[in-house]
Amino acid sequence: MDGALSGRRAVVTGAARGIGFGIAKRLAAEGAAVTIWDVDGAQGERAAAELRGAGEVDALAVDVSDAASVDAAARETLRRHGRVDVLVNNAGIAGPNAKTWEYPRDAWQKVLDIDLTGAFLCCQTLVPSMLERKYGRVVNVASIAGKEGNPNASAYSAAKAGVIALTKSLGKELAGTGVLVNCVTPAAVETDIFTQMTREHIQFMLSKIPMGRFGAVDEVAALVAWLASEDCSFSTGAVFDISGGRATY
């Protein structure tokens, strides 16, 4: 894929660290100019500075769960770069591990606001400008939990199932416009999000992966980079598994 995104402008949410950072790094290496949207503005700036050796990268402080924040970031990104060709909705939190009937209601709402509504707001804000140019790639980072439902993670599982459904709906709405929408469903990838989970929950996730290991950030980033490119031309509304064999449907 050497230079497959040359000249493209991309936004990656939640890219100050973890999978999002890996995705931003890969897109920049493929030639894209990348804008990091992250709620941690200081860390976003540090991430952008670290990645500038790979390409053109800048950052904005954005709360994807807040419509006004997303709208303002979209305006500033379009002012700086003129367009957005690629949107990667990666921002998310795991939330606590608890039985559904014991799950804190405020935590439930926070997980859905960030993981699902955040993706909706970013799509709603940036897709119209893609439609104007009749070109765009939206890649949503869902999870294997959205396919199977992880016990003691009902909010995260429900939110990621919603991201899968959002991908299918938006992909069908945009079919034929030149704007393609797909999502990836990783099994567990060892990043900072593990600090939000119990050791028991982490071991449960590992036990479900036939390959017997967690995924690597670079593996997810490689798949996202292909979905963000022109090489992906006849897939939309689709779910791309990257789970070490855990889910094969």
Catalytic residue IDs: 156
- Contact present, 136 and 120 (Cβ < 8 Å): no
DSSP string of 143-199, one letter each residue? -THHHH--TTBHHHHHHHHHHHHHHHHHHHHHTTTTEEEEEEEE--B-SGGGGGS-H
Coil, strand or helix at 220: helix
CA Rg, the chain, in Å? 17
- Pairing relationship of beta strands 86-89 and 57-61 according to DSSP bridges: unpaired
Classified as helix, coil or strand, 68 is helix
Q: Which of 112, 216, 229, 240 is nearest to 168 (CA)?
A: 240
Q: What is the DSSP string of 103-147?
A: --HHHHHHHHIIIIIHHHHHHHHHHHHHHHHT-EEEEEE--THHH
- The single residue listed with the structure tokens 């303002």 is 72
What would the two tokens of residue 69 be?
A: 């924040």
